[in-house]
Structure 1
């Protein structure tokens, strides 16, 4: 395990032997539930940096925070078999990492694909889930949102400079995120890209885009309502971007009907998926986790 002033890099072996990576914030055992953060489809641990710092150092009830890079993203190795880029394998990878760290239960925060992985964990290892935060994800994925993801993955830019990367992201996502500041966009680009000799490159295996490109959006998409219903006894906070195309208001309302104790936040001026370090979200998440633990 190597060290950084803010976190430690933890490398471990997946069940199939692939080397995977996680960031560990807050080394000391605070006695509070640890928090596991799971990023979106093509994203990585850097997305959670500011939130992880907040939860591990800047609140009264500090927590150890574990943020995973899935296989093929960030500092984790790319898989020679692209078929392994699926939520079932990635759920198993997360469990392997937590086992290597000796963590048997935790609160989980899942952005987009991370939330789908949490649905899977609820079926295969429900006891590990002490509380859940879903960031712009639910049991139903809207075809319009997936089409938007298909569109921008097909045209993923390879900018030469940081400024060009910021401009490219604003052109693609700006209409859905009018609330973001210049520093928010810059932070997004710093998390998404890595520097190569040819310029900035998205920090994920490009074969990930193939799985999304091959989705037939003319057919009804399967839902995860049975998996969601299995989470009924677990404290749950759902965060939705007001401009989200992937996570609909109707799905959020149905989730509240099925899980009446579920808390919900709508983030104005943001789409899929809200930046969890912005506005009151860090405090809202920390307060939710504290309340859930106190009531457990």
Structure 2
């Protein structure tokens, strides 16, 4: 069982609500339930197969007096975490998930927010800046930008579709460290335990990946010859939006060259490197949470 893992502090309220197509979705609210009562809300969007638990430590900090006492919402996309799995697997797309984010904002009464988007979450923000620009106040892009490096995407394909699975909760952190340790030398034993708690759900005492396998299956046909479209026109639409980009030092998905070009196109962009981390950085370690809080407060 998972008793040995770090328990989440119950500093959030759980919410269930519905997407426009009726699918049941899940989110958490940290801090004040009163959106629009003073402090601007923060909405956290996870990566491809990840969920709201990824942001627990960061969200709890930002909702605390030390972090600025913001209302913070973290979301599970359809097919991930506690959101319902979609019977139509073709709806696991950025466009559909962006519409779900709009539905989530309506549920929480959010008309404008700071968005923190990790990987897939940042791609959703590139979509929202065109489809729902009024929602976006500030943006933190966590290891994602307008250009995705194929090497990084192939690595994601491989580990999401690999046969290796933890046999027990005791084995889960060690497995994750074996898979990702070279890119995440900065992380300690507690970080790996918390990562396991975020990635896996308990099924009869055994950790299982907490997402619909159809999401990972979408990447199986990807090859090194694939041509990935860039999102520079969408990124340029952030011209008047305060932006911070965080790149993992060992990231294979977001290149330093892309970050440099983002800074050239957006003169106010704040670029941060997460030392000793790869794709995608944990945002509560090594002072990153303080950098994010300072950016939101600026």
Give the corresponding residue for 2:115: 108
Partner of 1:16: 21
Q: Distance in 1 between matches of 2:230 and 2:275?
A: 26
Give the equivalent residue in structure 2 for 1:264.
Answer: 271
Equivalent position of 2:226 in the other structure: 219
Q: CA RMSD in A?
A: 1.3
Q: In the aligned structure 2, how far is the partner of 1:267 from the partner of 1:60?
A: 19
C-alpha spacing 1:60/1:143, structure 2 compared with 1 (3 Å): closer
Give 1:190 deviation, angstroms. Answer: 0.5
Match among 189, 195, 213 for residue 196 of structure 2 = 189
User: For 2:170, what is the secondary structure of its paired residue?
Assistant: helix
Picking from 101, 104, 119, the partner of 1:97 is: 104
TM-score by length of 2: 0.94
Is the 8 Å Cα contact of residues 46 and 75 (structure 2) preserved in structure 1? yes
The answer to whether the aligner puts 1:180 opposite 2:181 as a matched pair is no
Unaligned 5+ runs, structure 2 = 1-8
Aligned to 1:199: 206
Moved more, 177-186 or 209-218: 209-218
Which residue in 2 is equivalent to 1:26?
Answer: 31
Classify 1:80/1:57 alpha carbon distance in 2 versus 1 (closer, same or farther; 3 Å): same
Q: Helix, strand or coil for the counterpart of 1:264?
A: strand
Between the two proteins, the alignment pairs up a number of residues equal to 288
Question: In structure 1, what is the Cα distance between the partners aligned to 2:226 and 2:53?
Answer: 34
Distance in 2, matches of 1:60 and 1:273, equals 22
Aligned residue for 2:111, secondary structure, equals coil
* 1:237 and 2:237 correspond: no
What's the TM-score once normalised by structure 1's chain length?
0.95
CA positional deviation for 1:28: 4.2
Moved more, 90-99 or 214-223: 214-223
**Are the counterparts in 2 of residues 37 and 108 from structure 1 also a CA contact under 8 Å?**
yes
Rounded Cα–Cα distance in structure 2 between residues aligned with 1:165 and 1:58: 33
Name the CA distance, whole Å, in 2 between partners of 1:58 and 1:48: 17
Structure 1 counterpart of 2:4: none
Alignment of 1:150 with 2:148, yes or no, is no
Q: 1:197 Cα deviation (Å)?
A: 2.2
1:156 to 1:276, Cα distance in 2 relative to 1, 3 A? farther
